[in-house]
Structure 1
Amino acid sequence: MSMFFEISLAEWSFHRQLEEGKLTNLDFPAKAKNEFDISAVEYVNTFFKNKANDTAYLSELLQRCKDNGVQNHLIMIDNEGALADLDDKKRNVAVENHYKWIDTAKYLGCTMVRVNAFGEGSPEDVQKAGADGLNKLSEYAEKIGIQITVENHGGLTSNGEWLAGLMKLTNNKNVGTLPDLGNFCIRWEGSWSNCKEMYDRYKGVAEIIPYAKGISAKTIDFDANGNCMETDYARMMKIIKDSGFKSYMGIEYGGEHLSEDEGVRKTKELLLKTAAGMS
């Protein structure tokens, strides 16, 4: 079947197994290929956070990818500082903290990284600081062929209009978005599951898809027919296809009611089924 997108697998889908020590980052590529027949992977830096400069470790990881015919697509970078911090000094430190992961992405053969445009302040001020942080990081990344993507990842970044505005202000072809089809909670209490203000996900994706370099196909719950309960994938896929998007859609199961492996399988089946139903 010919599809307008390719399928990759996000490591976050197995965060419980990784946190419980039932799976290691080194084993992830083989699991993707051998258990799910997926040949492109997306890492999360926190699952190998002390290994950014460890060439022995990274070469082992790369070898396992080659042995299994797996392509490294991107690294999601968390907990390295706020790229939209209003404090110039803190923002610049955050930018420099990301450099090692840009280098790691290059070493592993990735094409891009995902970062967060977090900051505290007015929407306008955070947007301005974010554009500065992203452009500074891109200046480093572009020299070695790595693209920068920003995810809608809570707070201001989950406001599609704001994130699209950030892209316009950044005005850099090497910087784009990584739309997460489910991450549109602007305000929550306690945990993300207790969302108090949700942005319309279809409106949000339509606003940020023109800048997309990849997509996170987020799923939480499924009905008896294998459809995602919180997101209408047929409706969402039409928005994505109509935009001209032609890159990876990364399976990112984030639910708790299925095993992680089953959630990944159902998400892959959903993507294939939805694509097959499109004219």
Structure 2
Amino acid sequence: MKTRRTFLKQAAMGATAISLPSVSAFGNPLLLNSTEMKEPKISLAQWSLHRALEEGNVLAIDFASISKNSYGIDAVEYVNQFYVDHATDEGFWNTMKERAHDSGVKSLLIMVDNEGDLGNPKEDERKKAVENHYKWIHAAKILGCHSIRVNAFGQGTKTELKQPLISGLGALAEYGAMENINVLIENHGLHTSDGKYMTDIIKAVGNPYLGTLPDFGNWCLNKEWGSTQNNMCDQVYDRYQGLTDFLPYAKGVSAKSYHFDVAGNETIMDYSRLLQKVKDSGFDGYIGIEFEGETISEPEGIRATKALIEKVWKELE
């Protein structure tokens, strides 16, 4: 299986190239007195096309137009690893902004990986990791995004990591606030998939620019990246509880999918139960498709996930 870890290692060696109100520490204002979404707002996460991008079958610079023209999806979530050579190139990001605008596509966020541990117990290395994220905040601002998504990793026990995480995430959220860009934590394995632990960190930071991007699938507690594909993880945080934990701070939702049965249902995750929680919370942001399966093609997986979200949403109470 091609994992994000494998891809990041390749990216680090130079293999990749391109060919709203804020969250409150006491809850998300978007969830308060909001009108119920009659139709789900759907976005496309770029990782859904990672195989095609890695193989050079599609170009990262064309992502917005591909989303709109191939899938009828008019909002996108970028992955920084497909743009590492252009991270600080303002001209490039202005071009990307124009391309999205011309395609009628809204840029929502940049998913940031491989920029150091924001919970590193060593202060100098943690500071460097925080500063490594600045360029992606700048890129997100040019694109018109509302957020960047980060990983809250670090070495040590949960007790040992608590203060470093509060420090690192807090510092980055302060910088994001200056640029009006939110910093979102995704459940990505290990302690980051412990919903209560991570929301306690958010509360301790107390910065309205620090929030969450809950992912339906990444709840494995003993593996980095947290994938639960093929039910291979033997220590899983209850995904329905995790979603409940994260939703009050959510600025987006990541609808992970792996495999579908003949009726079009995801075989590991109960989308009806998950989307009911999203709807009941009053969340009115975008639900991002992040297909990560291997038994069907990426285009088939994207379309199957979109169809499932739309079908289930109509059936919700």
Q: TM-score range by the shorter chain?
A: over 0.9
For residue 31 of structure 1, the aligned residue among 66, 81, 87 is 66
Report the AA paired with residue 253 of structure 1: F
Name the residue aligned to 1:60.
95
Structure 1 portions without partners, runs of 5+: none
Verify: 1:126 aligned to 2:126, yes or no: no
CA distance in 2 between counterparts of 1:105 and 1:44 reads: 11
2:55 counterpart of 1:20: yes
Mean Cα displacement is larger for which, 71-80 or 163-172?
163-172
State how 1:1-279 maps to structure 2 within 5 Å: 3=38, 5-188=40-223, 192=227, 194-279=232-317
Q: Secondary structure at the match of 1:73?
A: strand
State the match for 2:33 in structure 1: none
Summarize deviations over 1:46-88 as a string: whole Å, max 9, x none.
Answer: 0111211112322221221111011110000000000011111
Computed over aligned residues only, the root mean square deviation of the Cα atoms, in angstroms, reads: 1.8
Moved more, 237-246 or 73-82: 237-246
The TM-score normalised by the length of structure 2 is: 0.85
Letter aligned with residue 209 of structure 2? N
Q: Deviations over 1:140-191 (max 9, x none)?
A: 11111101100000110011121122212222111111000110011149x9
Aligned length: 279
Residue type matched to 2:173 in 1?
S
Q: Is the 8 A contact 2:174 2:207 kept in 1?
A: no
Q: CA deviation at 1:196?
A: 3.0
CA distance, structure 2, for counterparts of residue 137 and residue 4 of structure 1 = 34
Query: Does the residue aligned with 2:133 lie in a helix, a strand or coil?
Result: helix
Q: How many Å apart are 1:265 and its aligned residue?
A: 0.3
Q: Which moved more, 1:145-154 or 1:54-63?
A: 54-63
Cα contact 1:128–1:169 (8 A) shared by 2? no
> Identical aligned pairs, as a percentage?
45
Deviation, structure 1 residue 5: 4.0
Q: Matched residue of 1:197: which SS?
A: coil
**What is the distance in 2 between the residues matched to 1:171 and 1:122?**
22
Greater strand percent: which structure? Answer: 1
Separation of aligned partners in 1, 2:209 and 2:40: 20
Rounded Cα–Cα distance in structure 2 between residues aligned with 1:214 and 1:3: 17
Q: Is the 8 A contact 1:4 1:245 kept in 2?
A: no
Deviations 1:183-240 (A, max 9, x none): 0011149x95542311111111111111111110000010101011111011111111
Runs of 5+ unmatched residues, structure 2:
1-36
Cα 1:188–1:116, aligned 2, differ >3 Å: closer, same or farther?
closer
- Structure 1 residue 4: deviation in Å? 5.9
- Distance (whole Å) between structure 1 residues aligned to residue 206 and residue 216 of structure 2: 23
Does the CA-based 8 Å contact 2:88-2:139 persist in structure 1? yes
Give the counterpart letter for 1:273 in structure 2: K
